[in-house]
Chains A and B, each alone.
Chain A
Amino acid sequence: MKLVTAIIKPFKLDEVREALSAVGVTGITVTEVKGFGRQKGHTELYRGAEYVVDFLPKVKIEAAIKSEILEQVIEAIEKAANTGKIGDGKVFVFDLEQAIRIRTGETGAEAL
């Protein structure tokens, strides 16, 4: 099993969710996050005062998946979240030791 974490542009969330469903991902967790990468921040101007905003809003998606569909999942995220511009985000992949469905006690791939 793998845990895929992707940081994407917030307005791409719906497209990514649909693309993930299409390749068989049955559940994801979404968090609104802030951060910076190569895109850096931007400046905001309020009357006379200028502020540099370092952290930009992004969306973090976490999906626990079977190892077999990893390549398809990565490809789906890459395609759906791509705008070609700086700040599109990143995908991180982790090995997942265990998964448990709380209601039934199922474990492993059964629980995903």
Chain B
Amino acid sequence: MKSFIRKLIAVLAMFSVLGLNTVPLVAFAQDKPAAGAKADDKAPAKDEKKEEAKPAPTPNKGDTAWMLTSTALVLAMSVPALALFYGGLVRSKNMLSMLMQVFVTFSLVVVLWCIYGYSLAFTEGNAYFGGFDRLFLGGTFDAMKGDFAMAATFSKNTPLYELVFVAFQATFAAITCCLILGAVAERIKFSAVLIFMVLWFTFSYAPVAHMVWFWMGPDAYTDPKVVDAMNAKAGLIWQWGALDFAGGTVVHINSGVAGLVGAYLVGKRIGYGKEAMTPHSLTMTMLGASLLWFGWFGFNAGSALEANGSAALAFMNTFLATACAVLSWMFGEWLFKGKPSMLGAASGCVAGLVAITPAAGNVGIPGAFVIGTAAGLVCLWGVNQLKRWLHVDDALDVFGIHAVGGALGALLTGIFNAQSLGGPGLVTDWVTGKVGSNPIWDQFLIQAQGVGMTIVWTGVVAFIAFKIADLIVGLRPAEEVEREGLDIGEHGETAYHM
């Protein structure tokens, strides 16, 4: 009990330090509204008159319904899908620890998201961090007036309830943190997981999401004169022009590299390479992979933020690329390893989903064929040859699938976005909404820049965060706890009674 209190104090102290460190950022934030938020009650009287003449657009009910549905779909990707996918891959003595780590990390991040994470990621600040305008989601709903704040979509005059956007993005933040757990599975202390997650979420997820996704929204681009000013307010990587539809950089490279750093710092599992560490239930892994596929429609098609053509394209690409990757991984494995395995097919499914994520609404059908097929083969290489080169016990291949697949998808997005290759192109002028294509090589280099920045950022933050967790509580449980299984040692339960 005493040690628990000591730990609790340490965690609380960390929160306060974290708060102090980020205080200077408030200066940047001041009182500016969130992304594309419509003029709220602070707007001067003049504007109110204008609005009377031309009433502010209200959210489309179809969009709202689709985004609420998508949010629930993405929730299902973490719990239960990812938990089952990872759970099936560990030994039965660590099953509950895997389920618990995913379940609790998800919940923890959703709470942090509503306290300060959303604000840090999606309000105006500097090019790296947002501000504190939306602490505790303040300003999203005015209870006295019954007014809901609006968030921007990708179309002019098409707002979305900001609370819907907050919820949708919360599920992204949470699953990204959960993904890291696979790399350090079967050998990390539960308390270390929690401390790491608070730090990494705050200093890597939130800023990377801000850098890649924060912008002022289409309605802010009212006149050619304001374009530069509005661009300057967006996140760094967004300013560069990198395309990331649903999180190749923010979600997959971010978590994949953090996982690799974690696998090095936490060290190899006892008996790694000597004892058999076979998955205890590939049935659950298959269930998890399939549910991930199902939920990913919300993840990718929902990232269109509207129920429109872009969502349709993202939906179809998520379907097609994933199926291609299942086949290419399976045939690759059959060819090089002798047998087509269920784990191979399930891994191909996840690899395809990861790779199509940044591309979903940014490429056409030809892009989906190529990206999906390439993802299966490249990630198969990632968990074999590359893993051997790295000499690391990335237990569930978070790096080999998420970082490698995410980077592949992000880079190929730069190529297949071009209209000449069947892609939808990109908006070249947000004032008029004109669509065009960047030269393929230019866009490819921009994508590479975004990938590189994310790798460095998350790598450094993950290293520091794991080191801090190590200092406070230590990363590894006692040897006998690890040998007996984290289920009994850390949680006092067993998954199976047989």
Question: Which residues of A does B touch, CB under 8 Å?
Answer: 44-49, 51-53
* Cβ contacts under 8 Å, A49 to chain B: 277
User: Which of B2-10, B259-267, B339-347, B409-417 has 4 or more CB atoms under 8 Å from chain A?
Assistant: B339-347
Which 4 A-B pairs have CB atoms at the shortest separation, nearest pair first? A48-B384, A51-B276, A47-B383, A48-B383
Of A44, A47, A52, which is within 8 A of B384 by CB?
Answer: A47
Contacts of B343 in A (CB 8 A): 46-47
B278 touches A48 (CB 8 A): no
- Given A51-B276, A51-B278, A53-B276, does the pair A45, B383 have CB atoms closer than 8 Å? no
- The answer to whether A45 and B341 touch across the interface, beta carbons within 8 angstroms, is yes
Asked whether A46 lies within 8 Å of B388 as measured between CB atoms, the reply is no
Q: Considering the chains assembled together, what is the distance between the CA atoms of A49 and B275 in angstroms?
A: 11
From residue A6, how far is it (CB to closest CB) to chain B in Å? 24
The answer for the CA separation of A52 and B338 in the assembled complex, in Å, is 16
Chain A residue nearest to B383 (CB atoms) is A47
Docked-complex contact B277 and A47, CB < 8 angstroms: no
Q: How many A-B residue pairs have CB under 8 A?
A: 27
Task: Report A-chain residues with C-beta under 8 Å of the C-beta of B276.
Answer: 51-53
Q: Is B225 an interface residue (CB 8 A)?
A: no
Report the contact-size class of chain B (Cβ under 8 Å from the partner).
10 to 19
In the assembled complex, B387 has its CB within 8 A of some CB on chain A = yes
A13–B384 alpha-carbon span in the complex (Å): 39
Q: Does B474 contact A (CB under 8 A)?
A: no
Which residues in A have their C-beta under 8 angstroms from that of B306? none
Sampled A-B contacts (18; CB under 8 Å): A44-B278, A45-B337, A45-B338, A46-B279, A46-B341, A46-B343, A47-B347, A47-B383, A47-B384, A47-B397, A47-B400, A48-B383, A48-B384, A48-B387, A48-B388, A48-B397, A51-B277, A52-B276
Q: Chain B residues near A48: list those with CB within 8 A.
A: 383-384, 387-388, 397
- B278 and A47 contacting across the interface, CB-CB below 8 Å: no
Q: Which of A44, A48, A51, A52 has most chain B Cβ within 10 Å?
A: A48
Q: A53 vs B277: C-alpha distance in the bound complex, in angstroms?
A: 11
Which residues does chain A contribute within 8 Å of B278, judged by CB atoms?
Answer: 44, 46, 51
Question: Roughly how many angstroms separate A48 CA and B339 CA in the complex, as a whole number?
Answer: 13
A48 nearest in chain B by CB position = B384
- Contacting residues, chain A, for B347 (C-beta < 8 A): 47
- B339 x A45 contact (CB < 8 A): yes
A44 to B279, CA, bound (A): 11
Q: Which of B362-397 contact A (CB under 8 A)?
A: 383-384, 387-388, 397
| A98-B244 Cα distance, complex, nearest whole Å | 77
Smallest CB-CB separation from B329: which chain A residue?
A47
Complex Cα–Cα for A48 and B341 (A): 12
Contacts of B383 in A (CB 8 A): 47-48
Smallest distance from the beta carbon of A109 to chain B beta carbons, Å? 36
* A46 vs B387: C-alpha distance when bound (angstroms): 13
When distances are taken between beta carbons in the complex, the residues of chain A under 8 Å from B279 are 46
Residues 343-359 of chain B, each 1 if its beta carbon lies under 8 Å from chain A, else 0 = 11001000000000000
Question: What A residues does B344 contact at CB under 8 A?
Answer: 47
| A51 nearest in chain B by CB position | B276
Alpha-carbon distance A67/B337, docked complex (angstroms): 52
Contacts A47-B347, A48-B383 supplied; 4 other A-B pairs, CB < 8 Å: A47-B383, A47-B400, A48-B397, A49-B277
Taking CB atoms, residues of chain A closer than 8 Å to B339 are 45
- The smallest C-beta distance from A43 to any residue of chain B, in angstroms, reads 10
Bitwise, B96-116 to A at CB < 8 A (1) or not (0) is 000000000000000000000
**Separation in Å of the A18 CB from the closest CB of chain B?**
28
CA distance A36 to B344 in the complex (A): 28
> In the complex, which residues of chain B have a beta carbon less than 8 angstroms from the beta carbon of A44?
278
Docked complex Cα distance between A53 and B397 (Å): 22
Q: Whose C-beta in chain B lies nearest to the C-beta of A49?
A: B277
Please give me the residue from chain A that is nearest to B401 by CB atom: A47
**A45: B residues at CB distance < 8 A:** 337-339, 341
Q: How far is the CA of A46 from the CA of B341 in the complex (A)?
A: 8
In the complex, what distance in Å separates the CA atom of A53 from the CA atom of B276? 8
